[in-house]
Homo-oligomer: A and B are copies of this chain.
Amino acid sequence: MLPAYDLVYETYGTLNAAKSNAILVCHALSGHHHVAGMYADQPKSLGWWDNLIGPGRPLDTERFFVVGVNNLGGCHGSTGPSSPNPATSKPWGADFPVVTVDDWVQAQAQLADFLGIASWAAVVGGSLGGMQALQWAIDLPQRIRHALVIAAAPKLTAQNIAFNDVARQAIITDPDFHGGHFYEHATVPRRGLRLARMLGHITYLSDDQMGEKFGRVLRNDTGAYSFGYGVEFEIESYLRAQGDKFAGFFDANTYLLMTKALDYFDPAHRHDGDLAAALKPAVAKFLVVSFTTDWRFAPSRSREIVNALLKNDQDVSYAEVASSFGHDSFLLEEPQYHAVLRAYLGRIGL
């Protein structure tokens, strides 16, 4: 359906002569190719995984050649719903094909070809990014030596899908969505995107952390209730600000597409639900990481992956990291988490 497409990517470090030191970083729902560092004169442009990637960091750019890519369907430079549809010269909008994790792996493989990388030393990702690492190991086993699957799950639960569907319905029923063709109406379904992000954000944080960080603290420090519907509790202020910020830059059609890729991800689907059977082709070694307070993709979901690999007698290490920061932990500088990645990647032979 797509006659051609662009992928925007960034690289960090130097590809060695054997081209054996390349690591692909796959992004999650709202991520992109700019994984580390900052652009000249843009001090706020720090990459989303900068705490993990750089000289001397766990993904050590003095040793590895790290590649960040914006996925097909994204809204940070790669071809996506806001790109022109060659057939109409207008933005694709809702006509952009719904892509899947499999499609992303194929597109990323074309990028690897272009860069001359026959095999990744590792494919690394958290959340939806971890699902891509898992899919790489299944679909292109000869081209990935290590899969680092962080804060992920082998498929979404009904509850996960339910949250995604509320977010999608918020966007789709926003009158400014215009059936996905809002670009032509010079508007953006800002209300829907804002709600989608507010809701998503609740599922990224742990209940405990929200309690510690915000509790029932009021914005108004008199401690008196306002008896109105304006912003009142700190948590409301925080969530609304997150929603407003996100709605200001993220593409609504990309949001729909990314959540749908999440819903569809289920490598065991073609094997009657048998995850071990789905993972059988993999020859990569695996590191699976989960976080104790992650209730979006709880440790039990990561253990499903680990158990399927063990059933196949495949090479897997598993770390269940004690962290109070919920699903978002995979983005944070949690010492035990970083130590696990540093140790694992330090042992990778090039």
Contact = CB atoms under 8 A, between A and B. Distances in A.
A173 B223 CA distance: 27
B195 A235 contact: no
A35 to B, nearest CB: 29
Interface stretch (A11-19, A57-65, A161-169, A304-312): A161-169
A280 interface: no
A256 interface: yes
Contacts of A269: 223
Contacts of A155: 216
Interface residues of A, number: 52
B233 A158 contact: yes
B233 A263 contact: yes
Contacts of A205: 159
Contact of A169 (B159, B198, B213, B266): B198
Interface of A: 94, 97-98, 155-159, 161-163, 165-166, 168-170, 172-175, 191, 194-195, 198-199, 202, 205, 207, 210-211, 213-216, 223, 225, 227-229, 232-233, 235-236, 239-240, 243, 256, 260, 263-264, 266, 269
Closest 7 pairs (CB-CB, A-B): A158-B210, A98-B227, A158-B214, A158-B235, A165-B236, A173-B191, A159-B207
